[in-house]
Amino acid sequence: MNRPGMKELAQQLGLDRSTISRALSEDKSHLVARETREKIRSIAIAAGYRPDLTAAALRRGRSQTVGVLVSDLGNETFINVIRTIIASLNESEGVPATIPLIAETLDRSDAARRLVNTFLSRRVDAVISLASTEADRQILDDASHEVPVVLAVRSLAALSLPSALCDDKAGGALVARHFAERGHEVVCQVQGPPLAATFTNRAQGFSEICQKHGMLEVPAGLSAQRATYAAGKVAFDGILFASPRPTAVFAHNDAIALGLIEAARQRGLAVPGDMAIAGFNDTQIGRVLATPLTTVAYPIEEVGRHAGLLVRVLTVDPRAQVESKTFVPKLVVRLSA
């Protein structure tokens, strides 16, 4: 099948060739009236016309792609933040679409390094990291000298990069205050992997309020190997055999919380009767449990939209002055705690 050229399309539509060209251009389509532009594109695509986006990108000096690092593609919060980022990047009419190249690190620094280098070799316009750990500082710092690098969800204590974050410390404090208000005296937190500042900050916020209200944390320093359901189940033994046994547990994300709840159920313990459990993120599954999960609602829309804004600004002008923002989460009280 022979695809039509500009001349054939112009003859078929009875329009000037330059109008056809502008309407089909990713860069100049805004110069053509919307109704005319949509008519031209509809007929052109039906006739088999496809624009050469690669050639257009080479002319602009941009690839219209961004590299997105995520630690766990099974994490609902990460996926929803990515969706919001991409929607933010592509919300302007008449601007070429930006395509995400999404890759999973599983919190392995060797994987993060390899993936960032792959992104750079593919000439991405920016890198967005939702997977940053302190072990990734050097590779992200190096990458930031080539393309804009934006942090979302996870911060880096040792590196200052444009960021869109949740106030994780405040989120941990919200849970501790809730436990104090419910009269708990012995509590516990099951932390996520300590290399991620997200979990370090949640732990700090929780512990500070526990100390303020005289609540005892037992056992101290309990953490899950990964921020997953399976790791939460494994971590439960550390709580079960603690002395004194905690009456309330803060899991650093909902997946860990679900693992704890299942482990408690298997040992004949009732939630919240024998042990209150709270999570973080407000994922869908936590809302539909037989005993709905008390949790901290993550500010997904705010974090995702601001991360997208940072990328939009910095890909146009890498030296632009941009503002990093941290958004406040909210406690959602349900039946588990």
- DSSP codes joined into one string, 14-49: T--HHHHHHHT-TTTGGGS-HHHHHHHHHHHHHTT-
CATH of 59-165+300-327 given 3.40.630.30, 3.40.50.2300, 3.40.50.300, 3.50.50.60 = 3.40.50.2300
| Three-class DSSP category at 165 | strand
State percent of the chain over pLDDT 70.
Answer: 91
Look at residue 56 and tell me whether its pLDDT is greater than 60: no
pLDDT tens-digit map of 125-184? 999 999 999 899 999 999 999 999 999 999 988 788 999 999 999 999 999 999 999 999
pLDDT, position 221: 87
| Three-class DSSP category at 2 | coil
H-run or E-run covering 127: strand 126-129
H-run or E-run covering 227: none
Rounded average pLDDT over 194-199: 88
Fold of 6-51: 434 Repressor (Amino-terminal Domain) (1.10.260)
Rounded average pLDDT over 241-252: 96
Q: How far apart are CA 278 and CA 293, in angstroms?
A: 6
pLDDT, position 49: 65
Closest CA relative to residue 252, chosen from 210, 330, 181, 194: 194
| Three-class DSSP category at 11 | helix
Instruction: Evaluate whether 310 touches 164 at the Cβ level (below 8 Å).
Output: yes
Q: How far apart are CA 19 and CA 81, in angstroms?
A: 38
Lowest mean pLDDT segment, chosen from 26-35, 42-51, 101-110:
42-51
Would you list the DSSP string of 40-106? Answer: HHHHHHHTT----HHHHHHHHT--SEEEEEES-TT-HHHHHHHHHHHHHHT-STTSPPPEEEEEE-T
Q: How far apart are CA 49 and CA 6, in angstroms?
A: 9
Same fold, 6-51 and 168-297: no
pLDDT, position 1: 40
| Three-class DSSP category at 223 | strand
CA distances to 103, 179, 238, 304, 310 from 327, rounded to whole Å, are 25, 23, 32, 11, 15
DSSP 245: P
Look at residue 207 and tell me whether its pLDDT is greater than 60: yes
Q: Nearest 5°: phi and psi at 172?
A: -60, -40
Strand order across the beta sheet in which 216-217 lies: 216-217, 186-190, 248-251, 276-278
Domain boundaries, the chain: 6-51, 59-165+300-327, 168-297
Task: Check residue 274 and give left, alpha or beta (phi > 0: left; psi -120 to 50: alpha).
Answer: alpha
CATH of 168-297 given 1.10.1200.10, 3.40.50.300, 3.10.180.10, 3.40.50.2300 = 3.40.50.2300
Lowest mean pLDDT segment, chosen from 16-25, 83-92, 229-238, 296-305:
16-25
pLDDT, position 295: 98
Biggest distance spanned by C-alpha atoms of the chain: 84
pLDDT, position 5: 63
